[in-house]
Amino acid sequence: MLRKVFRVIITLLGAGIGYALSLMLARIGFINELVVATGYAWYTIVAFFVLAAGFVGFILAPRLTDITLKVIDFLEGALQRMPLQDLIGGAAGLIIGLVIANLLGAPLVNIPWVGPYIPIIFSVLFGYLGLSLGIKKKEELRGLMSMWRAGSKQGRGDGGKGVDKVLDTNVIIDGRIADICRTGFLEGTLIVPRFVLEELQHIADSSDLLRRNKGRRGLDILNQMRKEQGIKIEIRDFDGLDNKKDVDYRLIQVCKRLDCPVVTNDFNLNKVAELVGVKVLNINELANAVKPLFLPGEEINGVDVIRDGKESGQGVAYLEDGTMIVIEGGKKYIGQRINVVVTSVLQTSAGRMIFAKPKMAFKDSSSAQPYHEVNMIG
């Protein structure tokens, strides 16, 4: 059916071209030189051109239809493969380029000879430049639109939905990011660059069993997060990055381009990102921040002493969140559940460490009173 419609349209276009050609030849006097075109002779000549051009269009219609359908299929496939960000960025750049071309070309249209062609040249030139720059600068354009939306919401008194955040490979494999997102503390869209996904796939295909399990775990967590209703995850391609550089370097470049923080638990990436001015959301720091605080003299009930410590007589226990408790004189309580009293708290880069004494020993030491021997003479 579509081919028949195209054939009819092409035939009518051919007939129209024939009619326009006959008028043009009559205007320049070419027909009058061949024959005196008056009355029925004129209509006969016009009908001949219309029928001849329409017949040519009818004959060429199948071939032109095949070419047109192939071009449409090619463009449709290219547009479907193109990411939505590229389509939006390219369309916005094309519109801006055509507007600029129209503004620049309109005053020059009255120039003799070349004036009518200047707007056409400007439209092609600025349209191509706008399309190209719109695709390459789509991330900056998207960032500006997000800032504009956030500003308008704040102006109306509404809270924003949070800025975008970039996930690195380690934080996906770690898995705690999924639980944090479910609680609602991490807002905005979570962006997973394509090269991070490729690194996960490379780790999952590793010959080393441990690395392979980590990679598969990361892919499973990512798929699980994408299925969650309240979590927005977007896998995005980024052009213009040096693929020869390592993943951490490209992550920092992406964050600088988008002006958004990186979510990680990698100590080295954390330090490098802070040096170049990229905001870091470290889930290890978040985990340490939400651990319960204990002050010296506070009692902790029911800790299991599982092993001895480095120093003589020490015992080691752990809280549910993994915080280590070093118990002075706790070696004799290994395998038992006891109550302890905090003596001091040490904060390290690896986490928080608590020093304590068994509750009974603490009471004995605090209740003991010093006695002084006095020699009485006489």
- State the architecture of 299-367 in CATH terms: Beta Barrel (2.40)
Q: What is the pLDDT confidence band of residue 166, given thresholds at 50, 70 and 90? A: very high
| Residue type at position 22 | S
- Average confidence score pLDDT of the chain: 81
Instruction: State pLDDT tens for residues 201-222.
Output: 999 998 889 889 999 999 999 8
Answer yes or no: is pLDDT of 369 > 70.
no
Quote the CA–CA distance of 261 and 278 in Å, as a whole number: 6
139, 258 Cβ separation under 8 angstroms: yes
Scanning the chain, the segments in alpha helix (DSSP H) are 2-27, 30-34, 40-81, 84-105, 118-136, 138-155, 169-174, 176-183, 194-204, 209-227, 247-258, 267-275, 283-289, 359-367
Quote the CA–CA distance of 28 and 316 in Å, as a whole number: 106
For the ranges 88-102, 116-130, 148-162, 303-317, which has the lowest average pLDDT?
148-162
Q: Which of 15-29, 103-117, 326-340, 361-375 reaches the highest mean pLDDT?
A: 326-340
Tokens of 238: 């980024």
Q: What is the pLDDT confidence band of residue 258, given thresholds at 50, 70 and 90? A: confident
Which helix (H) or strand (E) segment holds residue 163: the answer is none
| Residue type at position 284 | N
Mean pLDDT of the region 252-270: 89
Instruction: State pLDDT tens for residues 45-58.
Output: 778 878 888 888 88
Tokens of 309: 């410590």
In angstroms and rounded to an integer, the radius of gyration of the C-alpha atoms of the chain is 38
Q: What pLDDT is recorded for position 341?
A: 92
Q: What pLDDT is recorded for position 23?
A: 77
Q: What pLDDT is recorded for position 155?
A: 43
Q: What is the DSSP string of 4-64?
A: HHHHHHHHHHHHHHHHHHHHHHHHTTHHHHHS---THHHHHHHHHHHHHHHHHHHHHHHHH
Question: What is the percentage of the chain residues whose pLDDT exceeds 70?
Answer: 83
Tokens of 13: 């276009």
102 three-class SS:
helix
Quote the CA–CA distance of 134 and 90 in Å, as a whole number: 5
Instruction: State pLDDT tens for residues 291-322.
Output: 778 888 899 888 999 998 888 889 999 988 78
Q: What pLDDT is recorded for position 156?
A: 42
Answer yes or no: is pLDDT of 174 > 70.
yes
Answer yes or no: is pLDDT of 138 > 70.
no
Instruction: State pLDDT tens for residues 2-41.
Output: 778 878 888 888 888 888 887 777 666 655 555 554 556 6
Query: Which residues make beta-bridge pairs with 236?
Result: 193
Instruction: State pLDDT tens for residues 57-92.
Output: 888 888 888 888 888 888 888 777 777 777 888 888
Q: What pLDDT is recorded for position 376?
A: 44
Q: What pLDDT is recorded for position 316?
A: 93
Mean pLDDT of the region 338-347: 89
Quote the CA–CA distance of 151 and 293 in Å, as a whole number: 38
Instruction: State pLDDT tens for residues 227-241.
Output: 876 788 888 888 777
* CA angle at 138 for the pair 220 and 149, rounded to the nearest 5°: 85
Quote the CA–CA distance of 137 and 126 in Å, as a whole number: 16
Domain positions in the chain: 2-135, 161-289, 299-367
Please, what's the b/e burial string for 321-357 (b: 16 or more CB within 10 A of its CB; e: otherwise)?
A: eebbbbbbbbbebeeeebebbbeebeeeeeebebbbb
Please, what's the b/e burial string for 52-63 (b: 16 or more CB within 10 A of its CB; e: otherwise)?
A: ebbebbbeebee
Answer yes or no: is pLDDT of 367 > 80.
no
Q: Which residues contact 283 (CB under 8 A, 6 or more apart)?
A: 171, 174, 176, 177, 180, 263, 264, 265
The superfamily CATH assigns to domain 161-289 is: 5'-nuclease (3.40.50.1010)
